[in-house]
């Protein structure tokens, strides 16, 4: 089963946007046993699109296109596909209705130009878009099945997962490559690799590799096996070995996110514990992460963003003398913030953060990246100092994730192993 | 002058690495007047490389290849190029000497496999690599000049800048393409396109296109002109026309972000105004965005995340009867939250948000996505209701950006035009 991927857009071909869709699509297609023959990118030019569709459809059994189905004049994928198919574009009644419902529910008139998004070449199939106004198109070009999806990554991914992947999976039938992902936070990539040791040996089946994204080090387990059952069994064994090596540093798998993992633990813990937040340097990011999770109102009720010292004093009861004596970025202030938040919110736990996110404000004693994180709990309040790497955004992001991780280990009843 | 770009590597075609070289090369080539016809990516497969080189060299005057010239068995670009040229590979004496010097200076013996990196098709030219052991290759295929460069971005960029760009620049003879980006928030892509009208006509020079990312609709202005000065003058005119059509819906250009744009306005406004936040459904995201900006402590001091009704009452003074009568997601509660935050923070402005982010909690009256946003200011407090599209993450993100936009228009002293 050969696959090609085509990205369409001036912003891509001109290099103004880096194409991340193609890499994602490749991973998905490879994971179900496709050989990826080629990626191609062309601009918003109908003839270039036609040429690319013709060429790539001759080299593959499946061609996934992303981009060029927006409502504006520079979106020409549907015209190009119609030209390649030598079929007229026809208005798809089902999608026209969906568009009308979409705009009606927003109490906005449908702009005239959006109607073009319901045009589908005769004989092709409309693919439903649950996240936007661009319908996808599925058509057969020679011996190749062509799927035209939106360029917006979120819309493309939803449509691909729902309408393309199952078809491809069925076609590749049997030659199973299964994979699994485990997520960690707190240790660096090389520390994770050291703990995994021979599990990461090249050529091992299942293979174990690491990838780093947004401070998370993830383990990717890939297996080649004759059947799905056999693959799953082998993945189970390797996952158990990875968990043996890393224990609670692993917070989740697959699509699990750290805030959701913490939320699940809070919901499952006896006595319905709650958590409050008191943030300075992270400016609300910890509260934002906690509330990323649907249903977080069950365990999160109160958060403070005390960016100024007066706010720390007035809102959390941090004493002026403590602030004057130790400075805002200090262990006593972090502890006083967490205690103040816990008592005012009447919560089981409270997290506080005070630090120097940069780019300014660093000193030799307290360089940019210095962050005190405190956790107040029924058994007492502890604080840890970290010096986070990177720029303002990274310092804030890593600090927030570390705060959630401190809470996670408290809920586990174990000390943090780093 | 047409250009194509070819990336070679299994890690690229399998999606394990996102190809950033092609975008960088496109920007460089476009900036000196090339039309970028296409990007292509193939794996470490000699036949696929040959096919790609043949096809792309027929479509362009210049083809830049990156990748596939390392020392290992899976590096096959030089073999593919030799096959396309129908020329034998010959050892390049100059590069052999450079390799020997390279390893001698590191007091390491040269591994046998590195010698392959001195092989060049007969008739082709060796391109010096100042940062690694892979020599580049320049060859003429039909009417196309082909440059083979390393896949390592640093090595590729050095070689391209030194040995490719000057040749291309000379050939295009000053035909400059310059570009500019303008960012908007608040109107959908089709509404922006309707306002721009004939400015978006295909074939116009400068061209105006739209892209959507994270709720922002951005305008890309690209110009072809005989000289940089001429191009800049034409871009100035087109930018003025776009601003005429969209006015204050445009919040920035280039690398400007919405929170920084608002921050800049707050800093520039007379009397050093400050802003406080009172958030329910966004859970701290507005505070987080405001404090994304270095130096935001100058105008942001206090934020509340009042996720529970008790928190709204205790922390912001929203009356229990108001909550009971209208529900938390209502105009009076949004207004009371903003007023409470403004008076407690003693700030110039306060933003409040209360809504239903989903996935649960929607009702026929107040569906998921319903968000009330209020702005308290010295001249009074106003609230607006929005029904935001998308999932929980999108509802929260768009709501936060809309809140910042309401503040932006208040600072402009103008009503929001949507």
pLDDT at A173: 67
Contact A113 B311 (CB under 8 A): no
How close is the nearest chain A Cα to the Cα of B97, in Å? 34
Mutate to test the interface with B, among A10, A14, A22 (most CBs of B within 10 A): A14
Q: What is the CATH number of the domain that holds B69?
A: 3.40.980.10
Contact in structure between A193 and A210 (CB atoms under 8 Å) = yes
Structural domain of A369: 258-412
Residues of A in contact with B160 (CB under 8 A): none
Which residue in B241, B188, B219 sits closest to A113, CA to CA? B188
Q: Decide if B277 is inside a domain.
A: yes
Of the candidates A150, A172, A194, which is a domain's last residue?
A172
Contact A283 B300 (CB under 8 A): yes
Of A302-316, B206-220, B320-334, B351-365, minimum mean pLDDT range = B206-220
Three-state SS across B180-224?
EEEEEECCCHHHHHHHHHHHHCCCCCCEEEEEEECCEEEEEEEEE
A151 and A198 assigned to the same domain? no
How close is the nearest chain B Cα to the Cα of A161, in Å? 16
Give the DSSP H/E element, type plus range, for residue A395.
helix A392-412
Averaged over A350-362, what is the pLDDT?
95
- Count Cβ neighbours within 10 Å for each residue of B169-192 and write b for 16 or more, e otherwise: beebeebbbbbbbbbbbbbbbbbb
Higher pLDDT, B83 or A173: B83
pLDDT at B156: 94
Q: Give the residue on B whose Cα is nearest the Cα of A67.
A: B211
Residues of B in contact with A358 (CB under 8 A): 294
* A165 Cβ contact list (under 8 Å, min separation 6): A28, A32
Which residue in A184, A333, A338 sits closest to A275, CA to CA? A338
Contact in structure between B333 and B312 (CB atoms under 8 Å) = yes
Which residue in B198, B199, B189 sits closest to A114, CA to CA? B189
Contact A315 B302 (CB under 8 A): yes
Contact B283 A296 (CB under 8 A): yes
Q: Decide if B294 is inside a domain.
A: yes
* B273 Cβ contact list (under 8 Å, min separation 6): B266, B299, B347, B348, B349, B411
Is pLDDT at A94 greater than 90 in this prediction? yes
Residue A140: beta bridge partners?
Answer: A145
Higher pLDDT, B32 or B291: B291
Q: Decide if B123 is inside a domain.
A: yes
How close is the nearest chain B Cα to the Cα of A358, in Å? 7
B192 and B161 assigned to the same domain? no
Is pLDDT at A256 greater than 90 in this prediction? yes
Residues of A in contact with B342 (CB under 8 A): none
CB pairs under 8 A between A and B: 258
Contact A285 B288 (CB under 8 A): yes
Condensed to tens digits (0 to 9), the pLDDT of residues B353-396 reads 999 999 999 999 999 999 999 999 999 999 999 999 889 999 99
A158 and A196 assigned to the same domain? no
A314 and A393 assigned to the same domain? yes
**What six digits make up the tokens of A276?**
């409050």
Which residue in A58, A57, A66, A59 sits closest to A26, CA to CA? A66
Q: Decide if B418 is inside a domain.
A: no
Q: Which of A30, A42, A284 sits opposite B15 (nearest CB)?
A: A30
Q: Which residue has the tokens 């009074």?
A: B380
A49 and A141 assigned to the same domain? yes
DSSP state of A362: -
Q: What interface predicted TM-score (ipTM) does this complex get?
A: 0.77
- Could you tell me what percentage of chain B is helix, strand and coil, using 3-state DSSP and rounding each to the nearest 5? 45, 25, 30
Residues found in chain B? 418
Full-model pTM: 0.77
B73 and B8 assigned to the same domain? yes
How close is the nearest chain A Cα to the Cα of B41, in Å? 5
Instruction: Report how far residue B63's alpha carbon sits from residue A187's, in angstroms, rounded to the nearest whole number.
Output: 43
Contact A300 B311 (CB under 8 A): no
Of the candidates B128, B155, B172, which is a domain's last residue?
B172
How close is the nearest chain B Cα to the Cα of A275, in Å? 12
Average pLDDT, chain B: 93
Instruction: Report how far residue A337's alpha carbon sits from residue A350's, in angstroms, rounded to the nearest whole number.
Output: 9
User: CA dist A109 to A99, A115, A196, A218, B212, Å?
Assistant: 10, 12, 57, 45, 20
Q: Decide if B417 is inside a domain.
A: no
Contact B302 A306 (CB under 8 A): yes
* A213 Cβ contact list (under 8 Å, min separation 6): none
Contact in structure between A284 and B301 (CB atoms under 8 Å) = no
Averaged over B29-55, what is the pLDDT?
92
Contact in structure between A184 and A257 (CB atoms under 8 Å) = no
Condensed to tens digits (0 to 9), the pLDDT of residues B149-189 reads 999 888 999 999 999 998 998 888 756 567 889 999 999 99
Pairing of strands A300-306, B300-306: antiparallel
Of the candidates B203, B236, B253, which is a domain's last residue?
B253
Q: What band does B210 get if pLDDT is binned at 50, 70 and 90?
A: confident
* B81 Cβ contact list (under 8 Å, min separation 6): B49, B53, B121, B124, B137, B139, B146, B148
Q: Which of B220, B285, B301 sits opposite A284 (nearest CB)?
A: B285
Is pLDDT at A176 greater than 60 in this prediction? no
Query: Considering chain B, what percentage of its residues have pLDDT values greater than 90?
Result: 76
**What six digits make up the tokens of B254?**
């280039």
Residues of A in contact with B18 (CB under 8 A): 18-20, 23
A239 and A265 assigned to the same domain? no
Is pLDDT at B264 greater than 90 in this prediction? yes
Q: Decide if A373 is inside a domain.
A: yes
Which residue in B83, B98, B103, B104 sits closest to B135, CA to CA? B98
Is pLDDT at A228 greater than 80 in this prediction? no
Instruction: Report how far residue B169's alpha carbon sits from residue B162's, in angstroms, rounded to the nearest whole number.
Output: 12
Residues of B in contact with A42 (CB under 8 A): 37-39
pLDDT at B177: 67
Averaged over B9-20, what is the pLDDT?
87
SS3 category, A74? coil
Mutate to test the interface with A, among B6, B13, B27, B289 (most CBs of A within 10 A): B13
Is pLDDT at A264 greater than 60 in this prediction? yes
Averaged over B281-286, what is the pLDDT?
98
Residues of A in contact with B266 (CB under 8 A): none
Higher pLDDT, B384 or B27: B384
Condensed to tens digits (0 to 9), the pLDDT of residues B214-249 reads 999 999 898 888 787 888 999 999 999 999 999 999
Instruction: Report how far residue A154's alpha carbon sits from residue B73's, in angstroms, rounded to the nearest whole number.
Output: 38
Question: How many CB atoms are located within 10 Å of the residue B294 CB?
Answer: 15
How close is the nearest chain A Cα to the Cα of B119, in Å? 26
Q: Decide if A236 is inside a domain.
A: yes
A348 and A230 assigned to the same domain? no
Averaged over A318-322, what is the pLDDT?
97
Is pLDDT at A265 greater than 90 in this prediction? yes
SS3 category, B225? strand
Instruction: Report how far residue A32's alpha carbon sits from residue B264's, in angstroms, rounded to the nearest whole number.
Output: 49
- Count Cβ neighbours within 10 Å for each residue of A39-68 and write b for 16 or more, e otherwise: bbbbbbbbebbbbbbebbbeebbbbbbbbb
Q: Which of A18, A27, A287 sits opposite B15 (nearest CB)?
A: A27
Q: How far is CA B309 from the centre of its chain?
A: 39
Instruction: Report how far residue B356's alpha carbon sits from residue B361's, in angstroms, rounded to the nearest whole number.
Output: 6
B24 and B161 assigned to the same domain? yes
How close is the nearest chain B Cα to the Cα of A37, in Å? 6
B106 and B141 assigned to the same domain? yes
pLDDT at B224: 81
Contact B40 A38 (CB under 8 A): yes
Instruction: Report how far residue B345's alpha carbon sits from residue B341's, in angstroms, rounded to the nearest whole number.
Output: 6
Q: Which of A13, A17, A107 sits opposite B38 (nearest CB)?
A: A13
Which residue in B180, B185, B229, B186 sits closest to B209, CA to CA? B180
How close is the nearest chain A Cα to the Cα of B408, in Å? 20
Instruction: Report how far residue A65's alpha carbon sits from residue A87's, in angstroms, rounded to the nearest whole number.
Output: 18
Mutate to test the interface with A, among B160, B178, B287, B323 (most CBs of A within 10 A): B287
B163 and B19 assigned to the same domain? yes
Query: Considering chain A, what percentage of its residues have pLDDT values greater than 70?
Result: 99
Q: Which of B277, B307, B310 sits opposite A300 (nearest CB)?
A: B307
Contact in structure between A225 and A176 (CB atoms under 8 Å) = yes
A220 and A359 assigned to the same domain? no
- Count Cβ neighbours within 10 Å for each residue of B138-166 and write b for 16 or more, e otherwise: bbebeebbbbbbbbbeebbbbbbeebbbe
Q: Decide if A417 is inside a domain.
A: no
State how many domains chain B has. 3
How close is the nearest chain B Cα to the Cα of A165, in Å? 16
- Count Cβ neighbours within 10 Å for each residue of B372-385 and write b for 16 or more, e otherwise: bbbbbbeeebbbee
Pairing of strands A35-42, B35-42: antiparallel
Contact in structure between A38 and B40 (CB atoms under 8 Å) = yes
DSSP state of A137: E
DSSP state of B162: I
- Count Cβ neighbours within 10 Å for each residue of B94-107 and write b for 16 or more, e otherwise: ebbebbeebeeeee
Residues of A in contact with B296 (CB under 8 A): 283, 307
Is pLDDT at A174 greater than 70 in this prediction? no
Q: What is the CATH number of the domain that holds B313?
A: 3.90.950.20
Contact B305 A277 (CB under 8 A): yes
């Amino acid at each position: 089963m050969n696959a090609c991927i085509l990205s369409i857009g001036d912003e891509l071909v001109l290099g103004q946007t880096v194409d991340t869709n193609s890499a994602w699509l490749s991973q998905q297609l490879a994971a179900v046993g496709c050989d990826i023959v080629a990626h191609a990118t062309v601009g918003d030019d109908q003839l270039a699109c036609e040429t690319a569709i013709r060429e790539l459809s001759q080299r593959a059994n499946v061609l996934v296109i992303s981009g060029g189905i927006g409502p504006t004049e520079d979106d020409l994928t549907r015209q190009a596909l119609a030209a390649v198919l030598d079929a007229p574009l026809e208005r798809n009644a089902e999608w026209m209705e969906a568009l009308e419902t979409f705009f009606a529910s927003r109490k906005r008139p449908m702009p005239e130009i959006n109607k073009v998004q319901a045009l589908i070449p005769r004989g092709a199939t409309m693919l439903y878009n649950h996240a936007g106004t661009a319908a996808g198109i599925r058509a057969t070009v020679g011996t190749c099945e062509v799927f035209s999806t939106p360029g917006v990554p979120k819309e493309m991914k939803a449509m691909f997962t729902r309408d393309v992947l199952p078809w491809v999976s069925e076609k590749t039938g049997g030659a199973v490559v299964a994979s699994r992902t485990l997520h960690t936070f707190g240790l660096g990539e090389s520390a994770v690799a050291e703990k995994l040791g021979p599990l990461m040996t090249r050529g091992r089946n299942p293979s174990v590799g690491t990838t780093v994204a947004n401070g998370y080090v993830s383990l990717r387990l890939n297996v080649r096996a004759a059947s799905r059952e056999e693959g799953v069994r082998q993945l189970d064994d390797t996952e158990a070995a990875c968990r043996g090596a890393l224990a609670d540093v692993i917070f989740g798998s697959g699509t699990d996110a750290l805030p959701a993992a913490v939320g699940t633990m809070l919901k499952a813990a006896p006595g319905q514990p709650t958590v409050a937040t008191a943030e300075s340097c992270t400016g609300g990011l910890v509260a934002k992460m906690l509330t990323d999770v649907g249903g977080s109102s069950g365990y999160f009720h109160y958060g403070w963003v005390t960016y100024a010292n007066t706010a720390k004093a007035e809102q959390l009861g941090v004493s002026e003398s403590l602030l004057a004596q130790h400075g805002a970025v200090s262990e006593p202030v972090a502890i006083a913030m967490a205690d103040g938040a816990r008592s005012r919110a009447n919560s089981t736990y409270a997290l506080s953060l005070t630090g120097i996110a940069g780019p300014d404000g660093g000193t030799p004693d307290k360089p940019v990246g210095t962050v005190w994180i405190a956790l107040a709990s029924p058994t007492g309040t502890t604080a840890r100092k970290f010096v986070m790497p990177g720029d303002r955004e990274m310092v804030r992001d890593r600090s927030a994730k570390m705060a959630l991780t401190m809470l996670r280990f408290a809920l586990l009843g174990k000390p943090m192993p780093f």
